[in-house]
C-alpha cells in the first residue's frame, strides 16, 4: 500500500531540496506582499509632493479672499470655501439627527421582523449606489419637484441622503457598544425606554456617533459628482446669502481649474487641493482622537 506518499516517501535529500523551495516561496511572498503596497504609497507620496510643489506658491492671502477669475493670478477660493461651509452646515443638520434616530430605532426599538430586515438591506444597498445617481435624484426631487432650484439647500439635501447610510452604520455600532447592563440598571430603577435611551445609552454612544458623523462630513466635503449633477455653479463671483442661492464648493472649483488648458490654472487646482486635503486631515485627526478616547474609556 501507499506507493506514493508525497514527500514522506522520498529520500531525505529530495525532501530537503523541496522543503527549501517551499520555504523560499514563503519568503518570496513576503517580498511580493510588500511590493504590492508600493504603488499605493508611491502614488500618495508623488501626489503630495507634486501638489505642494505646484500649489504652495499660489497659497497666499489673496487666494483665500478672492473670487474665481479668468485671470489666474487674481483667482481665489472665497466662494468655494463659503459654499462648502454653508452646504456642510445644512447637510449635517439634516443628516445627523435623521441618521442617529434611525440607528436608535434599529438598535433599541425595532423588532426582529421582515420590515426591520428590509430597512437594513435597503440601507446596505443605498451605501452602494453611485454618488452621481444621488445627484440625479436631487436634480429631479429637490431642484425640480420641491422647487428649491440649484441652491445650497438642494445640494445639502442631496448630500445628506448620500451620507445617511454612513452615519446610520457608525451610530448603530456606537449604540451596540454600550453594555446591556447600563440599560438593565436603568430599567430596574423604573426608567422608561426613552428615558433609558436618552439619559444612558446616548451619552455613552456619543463619542462613537461623533466620530462617524465627522468621517461622513469628510466624505461629503470631498464629493463632487452629485453637486455637478444638481447644477452647482463652476464660476461664482458672489457669496451665497440665502439657503436658496446658487453656490459652488471646493472640489467643483478644483475640477473647474483642472479642466482648463492653461497650466496656471493647474497650479491653482493644486493650491485648492492643498486646502481641501488640509481640511480633510484635520477632520480625520479629530475623528481618530475621539476614537482613541473612546477606546481608553471602556
Burial class (CB in 10 A: 0-12, 13-18, 19+), 112: exposed
Which range in 26-34, 60-68, 175-183, 236-244 contacts other proteins by CB under 8 A? Answer: 26-34
H or E stretch at 19: helix 12-55
**Binding residue for other proteins, selected from 52, 59, 123, 244, defined by CB under 8 A:** 123
Nearer to other proteins, 140 or 241 (CB): 140
Total interface residues for other proteins by CB under 8 A:
87
Rounded CA separation 156/149 (Å): 12
Min. distance of Cβ 100 from other proteins in angstroms? 9
What angle in degrees, to the nearest 10, is found between the helix axes of 78-104 and 250-258? 130
**Binding residue for other proteins, selected from 16, 23, 74, 293, defined by CB under 8 A:** 23
Site for other proteins in 55-94 (CB under 8 A): none
Helix (H, G, I), strand (E, B) or coil at 112: coil
Helix (H, G, I), strand (E, B) or coil at 246: strand
Nearer to other proteins, 21 or 238 (CB): 21
Nearer to other proteins, 22 or 61 (CB): 22
Site for other proteins in 210-269 (CB under 8 A): 218, 221-225, 228-231, 234, 251, 254-255, 258-259, 266, 269
Angle at 218 between CA 169 and CA 100, to 5 degrees: 30
Nearer to other proteins, 193 or 293 (CB): 193
Distances in Å between the alpha carbon of 284 and those of 40, 211, 236?
A: 19, 9, 29
Site for other proteins in 133-162 (CB under 8 A): 133-137, 139-141, 144, 161
Rounded CA separation 296/232 (Å): 43
Q: What is the DSSP letter of 76?
A: -
Nearer to other proteins, 34 or 61 (CB): 34
Which range in 47-55, 84-92, 205-213, 237-245 contacts other proteins by CB under 8 A? Answer: 47-55
**Binding residue for other proteins, selected from 131, 151, 171, 248, defined by CB under 8 A:** 131
**Binding residue for other proteins, selected from 101, 146, 185, 278, defined by CB under 8 A:** 101
Q: Does 277 bind other proteins (CB under 8 A)?
A: yes
DSSP sequence for 263-283: HHHHHHHHHHHHHHHHHHHHH
Min. distance of Cβ 191 from other proteins in angstroms? 7
Nearer to other proteins, 210 or 271 (CB): 271
Helix (H, G, I), strand (E, B) or coil at 20: helix
Nearer to other proteins, 161 or 290 (CB): 161
Which stretches within 71-192 are classed as H helix?
Answer: 78-104, 114-127, 131-138, 152-176, 180-188
Q: Does 286 bind other proteins (CB under 8 A)?
A: no
**Binding residue for other proteins, selected from 9, 57, 130, 179, defined by CB under 8 A:** 130
Q: Which residues contact 245 (CB under 8 A, 6 or more apart)?
A: 151, 152
Q: Does 22 bind other proteins (CB under 8 A)?
A: yes
Site for other proteins in 170-209 (CB under 8 A): 189-195
Across 15-40, b (16+ Cβ under 10 Å) vs e yields eeeeeeeeeeeeeeeeeeeeeeeeee
Q: Does 292 bind other proteins (CB under 8 A)?
A: no
Amino acid at each position: 500500500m501507499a506507493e506514493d506518499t508525497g514527500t514522506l516517501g522520498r529520500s531525505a535529500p529530495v525532501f530537503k531540496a523541496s522543503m527549501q523551495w517551499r520555504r523560499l516561496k514563503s519568503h518570496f511572498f513576503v517580498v511580493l506582499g510588500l511590493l504590492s503596497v508600493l504603488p499605493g504609497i508611491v502614488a500618495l507620496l508623488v501626489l503630495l509632493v507634486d501638489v505642494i510643489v505646484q500649489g504652495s506658491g499660489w497659497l497666499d492671502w489673496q487666494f483665500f479672499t478672492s473670487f474665481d477669475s479668468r485671470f489666474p493670478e487674481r483667482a481665489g477660493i472665497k466662494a468655494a470655501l463659503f459654499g462648502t461651509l454653508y452646504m456642510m452646515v445644512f447637510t449635517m443638520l439634516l443628516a445627523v439627527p435623521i441618521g442617529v434616530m434611525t440607528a436608535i430605532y434599529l438598535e433599541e426599538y425595532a423588532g426582529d421582523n421582515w420590515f426591520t430586515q428590509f430597512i437594513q438591506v435597503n440601507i446596505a444597498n443605498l451605501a452602494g449606489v453611485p454618488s452621481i445617481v444621488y445627484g440625479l435624484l436631487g436634480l429631479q426631487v429637490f431642484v425640480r419637484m420641491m422647487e428649491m432650484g440649484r441652491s445650497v439647500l438642494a445640494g445639502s439635501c442631496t448630500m445628506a441622503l448620500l451620507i445617511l447610510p454612513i452615519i446610520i452604520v457608525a451610530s448603530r455600532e456606537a449604540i451596540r457598544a454600550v453594555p446591556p447592563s447600563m440599560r438593565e440598571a436603568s430599567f430596574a430603577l423604573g426608567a422608561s425606554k426613552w428615558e433609558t435611551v436618552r439619559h444612558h445609552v446616548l451619552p455613552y454612544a456619543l463619542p462613537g456617533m461623533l466620530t462617524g458623523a465627522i468621517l461622513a462630513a469628510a466624505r461629503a466635503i470631498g464629493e463632487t459628482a452629485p453637486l455637478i449633477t444638481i447644477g452647482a455653479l463652476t464660476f461664482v463671483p458672489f457669496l451665497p446669502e440665502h439657503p436658496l442661492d446658487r453656490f459652488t464648493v471646493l472640489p467643483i472649483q478644483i475640477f473647474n481649474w483642472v479642466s482648463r488648458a492653461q497650466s496656471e490654472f493647474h497650479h491653482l487646482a493644486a493650491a485648492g487641493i492643498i486646502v481641501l486635503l488640509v481640511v480633510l486631515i484635520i477632520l480625520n485627526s479629530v475623528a481618530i482622537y475621539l476614537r482613541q478616547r473612546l477606546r481608553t474609556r471602556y
